[in-house]
Amino acid sequence: MLRAWLAQGFGPRLAVDDVVQEAFLRVLRARETGELQAPKAFLFAVARNLALDQLRRHAVSRTDSLVEADLSNVLDDHASIPETVAREQERALLTEAIQSLPDRCRQVMTLRIVYGLTQRVIGEKLGISDRTVAAQLAIGTKKCTDFMLLRLADRRPAR
What does the alpha-carbon distance between residue 24 and residue 29 come to, in Å, rounded to a whole number?
Answer: 9
Q: 81-155: which CATH topology? A: Arc Repressor Mutant, subunit A (1.10.10)
Residues belonging to the chain: 159
| Interval 51-96: pLDDT, tens | 888 887 766 554 444 444 444 444 445 556 777 777 788 888 888 8
Give the tens place of pLDDT for each residue, 15-30: 888 888 988 888 888 8
* Helical ranges in the chain per DSSP H: 2-10, 16-33, 39-61, 66-74, 81-99, 103-113, 119-126, 130-155
Residues 12, 57 contacting (CB under 8 angstroms): no
157 pLDDT higher than 50: yes
Residues 6+ apart with CB under 8 A from 151: 93, 96, 97
Domain ranges of the chain: 2-74, 81-155
User: Rounded CA gap, 12 and 9, in Å?
Assistant: 10
pLDDT at 32: 82
pLDDT, tens digit (0-9, with 9 covering 90-100), for 82-141: 777 777 888 888 888 899 999 999 999 989 888 888 999 999 999 999 999 999 999 999
